Structure 1
């Protein structure tokens, strides 16, 4: 196909539109809360309309908020209008995984000797076996190579194989996104560094010096399965060609300037992991052949095992840093656990949608587990219904990110009495926020704010600009609206 570091440190580095009727669901319990001592009075509907209108966003804004104690809803604005949730959709994937896999679920990566070892010599194949771990980093493979050496291995006379069959291979998360975006990588049962390779360039006389590496907190091994060529052109900035066993990139010389760096997606993650492991094995005196894909589940003697952190920790990092690959791995792993098979991201998302409707009473149409695909749809009311369920609030609320209340200069106000934890979501001309508010009076509310100008988004996709004209101003207005609503709901 040809087309025109600690874990937290690495994370920090990082269908057509559905008709409204397709997501029809019962309205939230009431537009007017039942009065009780000390309860806030509901806000008149016209007032929320005016707040939204003043933001001047264009497109559609959907808003809903509900009291967690009574279930009573107020400030509803386009709350039954299906809109893209963007990364707010990761809350569904986190809950889906935590409920079915368990908070202490861990992913296992192994190094296996398939053959007889005698006097440190393996008469057979060495296999790097993935277990789907979305948090596997270069430092971990360095540790696996050291453990393999410590197990007594010093020579391999067979092949070096990599197995990615724990999850179905997906060449990218969203086919409608630009191919060079690092947050839209391939995924499989063997992933590394969130399936991103670090591309760096620097002017060297009249030319450029370029490197492709798998950097992490401790190491910076060169990568051989991803190649970059500087091309004498101005546009397109990047092109990609699938070389079968390598990723072949070109970059426009006119776009490079004096130097810089960025993460690019990896399309052959199992070979990427094998490439890096091979480098570390060589540093321990173990020479391996170029990695090849294993066609079946391997057996043999386990020489080294890597175990991920618990699922609660993985989910929290995924929500905090909005990691698309982690969300997709959690969704696919959960579907595979529940049904015995996950064929693709889209089919797994459909299974998650069925669970949401049958178990949570929420009609969502997610096309993936990360919210990267802009064809996903959920209503603000549906989002609040999901967040208001006790088992969801109990699991997710402790994992969500603190959202500070800010002043007119966009500075966080320390020790503000209104406390918010939520998940953000951003696509070009889509901005979402959903989570929980503790009011200054100690009440608890669930809320959702979805804003989308889908006409401008469609036009921006046609333009081919990674950061289209007008999107920064639009996003700032969306964030200003979010702040105005959070303050309003926290103080009334």
Structure 2
């Protein structure tokens, strides 16, 4: 179904705000907002000259106009006093999508501290004599979600600078810092790059680049782990182009390799896309070996450090020859919130859980630890299935989100870490010099859209809000083949995002100048 033009216009609202004109405001905070009454001394719906001006649309009217189905829940509160100004289905638990990452951010800051850095180390179990390590070389991961091919290449450069040309023993990789998890949410399409595996060793957000070109004799296909400065081929992951109408992609494993197939009709003349990696530790070690070979460092085939004969905690002993450290946690979190990277959220959440004294055995176990933390720290009874919000089993209420945001507003740097969300005009273009400033986190799943954060509006107005919209029955009814591009999904999402902006504009107008 195509969107029809919205009958409510923001032109007079934004125009009035930009011009500094006084606007009507609500005195109370009903769950369903009636037409606002003017404050004393402010303009009513009709100016003194008698010219009519449209009334501010009620929240209920905006929700009805959006035609989303399902449930729309929201809460908006005064940031200074905490007083709830408006709400709708405030205590209805809904899937928040990536808004979950707000919880993960505060959980990680609390458990790890803002200056925490992930470390990836190269450890030798023996001395370097005549260019050879007299023992094993261990690539030891610390769960770094930001490690990329360029950083891995720099580690090989550092290794060569130490005079290393080979090893007398084995090349091992240790990913035991985090449990191996083949995918975040099993319900996602196989080819979804935002749903990779994870472990204590991660590379390029655990994605591999698939590139194809059509020639006279068919398609040529390559898989690589490209960075900005390095582009090593990947040998442990293969893909085959096959003749079939559907599915577009399939995934399997055989002989220690990850195997993909893709339908020929989906490729066109040429192109590329990132595909998820299910065994990231092995992938990282294989790419390291390729990069090392380019530095004339000969390494045997990588093997996991959990092999018989390798003492427990072997990567904790020996000599560190080189290491790579991530940016401080606050910077990693800022990027995670900006780009909504699921892998980053999951590895940070798992690391935070391990720092609490109990190393989680699974993603669900770690998510349960975060739920306990939210209950004990903020009195919030949310349910989490992961740390990214990708799994649709997570549930939280708008009231709980606002409570969390209010507490964080006073005690943590969350506001500065959240990205700026800009109001847009009817053509989808950002509105320049808008008087309404929004810092928030978005959340999107099929027929799920959330937005939560802070608003600075004219008159030194400071608001905290959470908007959760979900048509869960429609989402649950999707067959697996329609989950990547569900029919009606784009139109639904446009209307949901439009509603979010309409509600924020309403609140910024109605409560302008509230002190």
TM-score by length of 1: 0.90
> Residue 124 of structure 2 is aligned with which of 113, 117, 124?
113
Q: Structure 1 residues 244 and 342 mapped into 2: Cα distance closer, same or farther (>3 Å)? A: farther
The correspondence for 2:28, drawn from 28, 32, 42, is 42
Among 320, 337, 341, which residue is 2:355 paired with?
A: 337
Once residues 361 and 85 of structure 1 are traced to their aligned partners in structure 2, the CA distance between those partners, rounded to angstroms, is 18
Give the structure 1 partner of residue 265 of structure 2: 254
* 1:40 CA displacement: 5.8
Render the CA deviation track for 1:200-250: whole Å, top value 9, x for unaligned. Answer: 111011310101000111111101111111112121111111236321111
CA contact (8 A) 1:55 1:481 kept: yes
Q: Identify the match of residue 491 of structure 2 among 435, 449, 473.
A: 473
Q: Tell me the secondary structure at the aligned position of residue 226 of structure 2.
A: coil
The answer as to whether partners of 1:401 and 1:422 remain within 8 angstroms in 2 is: yes
The change in CA–CA distance for 1:261 and 1:310 in structure 2 (over 3 A counts) is same
Q: Which moved more, 1:419-428 or 1:148-157?
A: 148-157
1:250 is paired with a residue of what secondary structure? strand
SS at match of 1:460: coil
User: What is the CA distance between 1:340 and its match in structure 2?
Assistant: 3.0
Write the distance in 2 (CA, Å) between the matches of 1:67 and 1:42. Answer: 12
SS of 2:126's equivalent? strand
Report if aligned partners of 2:189, 2:483 keep a CA contact under 8 Å in 1: no
Quote the Cα distance in structure 1 between the aligned partners of 2:108 and 2:427: 39
Residue 360, structure 1, aligned to residue 371, structure 2 = no
Judge conservation of contact 2:409–2:415 (CA < 8 Å) in 1: no
Q: Structure 1 residues 106, 235: CA separation in 2 closer, same or farther (over 3 Å shift)?
A: same
Q: How far 1:399 moved relative to its partner? A: 0.5
1:349 maps to which residue?
A: 367
Equivalent position to 2:402, from 369, 374, 384? 384
Distance 2:98 2:90 in 1: 18
Q: Summarize deviations over 1:14-59 as a string: whole Å, max 9, x none.
A: xxxxxxxxxxxxxxxxxxxxxxxx9963355243222211111111
How much has 1:443 moved relative to structure 2?
1.7
Structure 2 CA distance for partners of 1:244 and 1:82, relative to 1, 3 Å: farther
- In structure 1, which of residues 398, 409, 412 is the aligned counterpart of residue 427 of structure 2? 409
1:289 aligns with 2:300: yes
Shift of 1:479: 0.8
The reply on whether 1:274 has 2:285 as its aligned counterpart is: yes
Q: Which moved more, 1:413-422 or 1:382-391?
A: 382-391
Alignment of 1:77-226 (within 5 A): 77-226=88-237
Whole-angstrom CA distance in 2 between matches of 1:62 and 1:339: 36
- Conserved? CA contact 2:240–2:262, under 8 Å: yes
Query: Deviation at 1:392?
Result: 6.3
Q: C-alpha separation between the residues in 2 aligned to 1:119 and 1:427?
A: 56
CA distance in 1, matches of 2:327, 2:193: 24
> How many Å apart are 1:463 and its aligned residue?
4.2
Aligned-pair distance for 1:104? Answer: 0.3
Contact preservation (8 Å) 2:132, 2:166: yes
Give 3-state SS (helix, strand or coil) of 2:395's partner.
coil
Taking structure 1 as reference, are residues 390 and 253 closer, same or farther at Cα in structure 2, changes over 3 Å only? closer
Q: 1:404 to 1:474 in 2, by over 3 A?
A: same
CA separation in 2, counterparts of 1:364 and 1:457? 21
Cross-structure match for 2:332:
314
Give 5+ residue unaligned stretches, structure 1: 1-37
Q: Does 1:425 align with 2:436?
A: no
CA offset digits 1:336-379 (Å, max 9, x no partner): 00023111110110110011011111111011000000110001
Contact 2:139 2:285 in 1 (8 A): yes
Alpha-carbon distance, 1:407 to partner: 2.0
Pairing 1:482–2:492 present: no
Q: Which has the larger radius of gyration?
A: 2
Where do 5+ consecutive residues of structure 2 fail to align?
A: 1-23, 34-57, 307-311, 511-515
Q: Distance in 2 between matches of 1:465 and 1:208?
A: 27
Shift of 1:394: 3.3
Q: In structure 1, the residue corresponding to 2:262 is in which secondary structure? A: strand
TM-score by structure 2 length? 0.86
Q: Contact 2:247 / 2:481 at 8 angstroms: preserved in 1? A: no
Instruction: Tell me, yes or no, if the aligned pair for 2:368 and 2:384 is still in contact at 8 Å.
Output: yes
Change (3 A) 1:265 1:468: same
Alpha-carbon separation, structure 2, partners of 1:65 and 1:440: 16
